[in-house]
Amino acid sequence: MADGILEADARITVRKARRDTVVSSAARARRLERLTPYLCLIPSLFVFAAFVYAPFAKTVALSLSLTNRRGVAVEFVGLENYLELFTSPDFWNSVALTFRFAVLLIVPTIAFALFLALIAFPKLRGGRIFELFFSMPAAIASAPAAMIWLMITHPTNGIINRLLGFGVFWLSDPKLALLTVSLITVWLSVGMTFIFLFTGLKAIPREIIESATIDGARYSRMIRSILIPLLSPQLFFVFFLNTVGAFQAFAQIKLLTQGGPGDSTNVLVHEIYKDAFMNGRFDAASAESFILFLIVFAITVAQFSLEKRSVHYDGK
């Protein structure tokens, strides 16, 4: 009898041990499952820390310091660099030129890309050729494209002046230089913008378009009432993308005008480059970089706020 009781107790103990082992294994599996996404993020966090957060922190530190010509901080000066910028006419001229350049770039790029996307959207014979032709500028980098346009807009040998019989100094006239660089950048940006908008148009359900066609809606009315409203997420995205690109444009300005003639195309990014690598003032360049970050950040927050309000209003 006693042996039977001991044997039963032993079996119960073994069962409890097995059950505890299974429970602990399941708990460990759940913990590992919860930790897996964070473990997968560790490599990217290291990359971001090394190439984004650390340089950003270094820039902020340099903007609050006095630096030598090698970019090494030698003295903490607080907000003196910012105060010096806010009293500098050259800095405010660069800020104003940056906003003018952004307006001259964003509006024509989106409008022209939308026009091209609406042309290529209907099922026409040779539609693939339209898609390839309209998106081709996206495959060209800024530097070689700038060199091509530098030859095209040459005042004496350029093809534009030769064909039209003009003698216009497109990149040497202070009144035309910013407009010319903006139009060249529009040409560079319209390909990628077209791809996003055209992809958004192709994602619109065909049933909606067919129903509107059956109801007798003209293509112009369909564009206003169906296509553009359904394309609003892509329009917001390309507006955001081109805004950031406009405030960070540098390569074409450096190659085409080098900020000139005078300071007529000296946008803020080129002013940062000039202060840092030509004047050896890394402290002022760091302060300008942080101000540029604040400007882009404020515009981004405003854009997302307007988008959220628009979505809330439409869904109300």
DSSP state string for 7-65:
HHHHHHHHHHHHHHHHHHHHHHHHHHHHHHHHHHHHHHHHHHIIIIIHHHHHHHHHHTE
Would you state the pLDDT for residue 177? 93
The answer to whether 224 touches 212, Cβ cutoff 8 Å, is no
Averaged pLDDT for residues 149-153: 90
Averaged pLDDT for residues 105-121: 90
Structure tokens at 158: 């350029």
Averaged pLDDT for residues 169-184: 92
Residue bearing the bigger pLDDT, 123 or 243: 243
Alpha-carbon gap, residue 142 to 147, rounded angstroms: 9
Q: pLDDT grade, residue 181 (50/70/90)? A: very high
Structure tokens at 146: 């700038």
Alpha-carbon gap, residue 105 to 179, rounded angstroms: 9
Range picked from 31-35, 119-123, 176-180 for highest mean pLDDT: 176-180
Output the CA–CA distances (angstroms, integers) from residue 135 to 128, 189, 199, 249, in the order listed: 11, 10, 12, 20
Would you state the pLDDT for residue 2? 47
Per the prediction, the chain carries an average pLDDT of 83
Alpha-carbon gap, residue 156 to 171, rounded angstroms: 12
Would you state the pLDDT for residue 219? 74
Q: Report pLDDT digits (tens) over 63-100.
A: 999 998 888 888 999 899 999 999 999 999 999 999 99
Averaged pLDDT for residues 2-9: 49
pLDDT at residue 262 is higher than 80: yes
pLDDT at residue 308 is higher than 50: yes
Q: pLDDT grade, residue 26 (50/70/90)? A: low
Would you state the pLDDT for residue 311? 55
Q: What is the pTM of this model?
A: 0.83
- For the CA atoms of 124, 128, 134, 139, the dihedral, rounded to the nearest 10 degrees, stands at 170
Would you state the pLDDT for residue 239? 92
pLDDT at residue 30 is higher than 70: yes
- For the CA atoms of 118, 121, 123, 125, the dihedral, rounded to the nearest 10 degrees, stands at 80
Would you state the pLDDT for residue 83? 94
Q: Which of 254, 236, 232, 247 is nearest to 105 (CA)?
A: 247
Helices (H), the chain: 2-48, 54-63, 80-86, 89-120, 127-135, 142-152, 159-164, 177-202, 206-214, 219-222, 228-230, 232-247, 251-256, 268-273, 282-314
Q: Report pLDDT digits (tens) over 268-305.
A: 999 999 999 988 899 999 999 999 999 999 998 988 88
Considering the four listed CATH numbers 3.40.1350.10, 1.10.3720.10, 1.20.1630.10, 3.40.1080.10, the one that applies to the domain covering 80-314 is 1.10.3720.10
Would you state the pLDDT for residue 145? 86
Largest CA distance in the chain: 118
pLDDT at residue 312 is higher than 70: no
Cβ neighbours of residue 279 under 8 Å, at least 6 residues apart? Answer: none
Q: pLDDT grade, residue 256 (50/70/90)? A: very high
**3-class secondary-structure state, position 75:** strand
Would you state the pLDDT for residue 45? 85
Residue bearing the bigger pLDDT, 221 or 22: 221
